[in-house]
Amino acid sequence: MQARLLLEDGTLFTGKSFGSEGESVGEVVFNTGMTGYQEVLSDPSYCGQIVTMTYPLIGNYGVIRDDFESVRPFIHGFVVREHEDIPSNWRAQYTLGSLLKEYGIVGISGIDTRMLTRKIRHYGVMKSIITTSDKSVEELMEVLKNTQLMTDQVSRVSTKSVFGAPGHKERVVVVDFGAKSGIIRDLSKRDCDVVVVPQNATAEQIRRLAPDGVLLSNGPGDPKDVPHAVEMIKGLLGDIPLFGICLGHQLFALACGADTDKLKFGHRGGNHPVKDLISGRCYITSQNHGYTVKEESIQGTELEVTHINNNDRTIEGLRHKQYPAFSVQYHPEAAPGPFDSSYLFDDFIQMIRDYKTNNPEQPRQAQMLAQWKASTEASPTAVKEELQYAQK
């Protein structure tokens, strides 16, 4: 069956359909990874986007459920040069086409993905429509013009309830803005007691879970579409150690008074060089984002830049000058990509331990007594009732 991809500038690509039949509108982007297409498909940060793989052969090792980064794909379309529907891999459980069909995702193959990528690099990401219908180009363009891109992706991909991955060491609350499973796996490897909360959790709700640290996860879309998360971070900053990843990094910057802006075509792939300004070392990183923290907005805040992108010099890491809080724009858990930066999870845990050493808590009984005294001071009637009960 024929499939078509129409960009908002009028460029039309015609190829073969694989996966589901139908029609979908989204922002067309490209990923430069040579492997890892199933992790790309299952990364919630791609919600609302039509993803183009620049590597020409996709589907050759099939799909393995154990390697997913979320429970299901959230992309709005998949674009490849050559689609292989007979995988050669003893672990394969599905073909790529059957996975897309299961979740109603339209795929298109047989188009010039190199031309498409060059167009995105030159003109920037743009709205597009992918379809297997026989509508005219004019009809498709009308649908494209009348369809607004999503602004609620975070609420779509975030968990709706609290759940945990028990461990015996530091309790880390992960705020799920679209968290990849790799983040939870890396924390669990370090025996952290992980509690995952929805994206709209308040600072007070998070405090009730008695976290030793809070991790702000990756996620899709514009950080300014999640203003409640910025307020939550402000409420925790300085009291609980924080670590932000990708969208979490951008939200951390906004909470500290910095600003964000949209990149022309974003960073998506497993081969982005990042320089650590403290050590001078260069790391190859996995990235997936379309927004960045504006360099000039850092001035006048309590933030300092710790990492930069060696390709375009954009900010890749931040640290608060006073409080135990830092963030990175890339993915230290990789999946797909190199594991060069997994040490950041160790740095986060060490920051938690240092903070606890320098800020010892009162014994639990002393805390409870202080809370009781505070409540009785606020309510003299409660004191009188307590005394009357004691006399009885």
* pLDDT number for residue 381: 61
Tell me the whole-structure pTM to 2 decimals. 0.92
The annotation places the binding site for L-glutamine at 45, 219, 221, 247, 250, 288, 290-291
CB neighbours of residue 343 within 10 Å? 11
Q: How confident is the prediction along the chain (392 residues), in pLDDT tens digits per residue?
A: 999 999 999 999 999 999 999 999 999 999 999 999 999 999 999 999 999 999 999 999 999 999 999 999 999 999 999 999 999 999 999 999 999 999 999 999 999 999 999 999 999 999 999 999 999 999 999 999 999 999 999 999 999 999 999 999 999 999 999 999 999 999 999 999 999 999 999 999 999 999 999 999 999 999 999 999 999 999 999 999 999 999 999 999 999 999 999 999 999 999 999 999 999 999 999 999 999 999 999 999 999 999 999 999 999 999 999 999 999 999 999 999 999 999 999 999 999 999 999 998 777 777 777 777 777 675 656 555 554 655 55
Distances (CA, A) of 252 to 120, 177, 211, 244, 360: 29, 13, 18, 7, 25
Among 39, 69, 83, 246, the active-site one is 246
* pLDDT number for residue 380: 59
* pLDDT number for residue 386: 52
* pLDDT number for residue 371: 75
Question: Is 246 considered catalytic here?
Answer: yes
Closest CA to 178 of 201, 197, 154: 154
Question: Is 331 considered catalytic here?
Answer: yes
Question: Is 122 considered catalytic here?
Answer: no
- The answer to whether 171 and 211 have CB atoms below 8 angstroms apart is yes
* pLDDT number for residue 370: 75
215 exposed, middle or buried (CB, 10 Å; 0-12, 13-18, 19+)?
buried
* pLDDT number for residue 74: 94
* pLDDT number for residue 375: 72
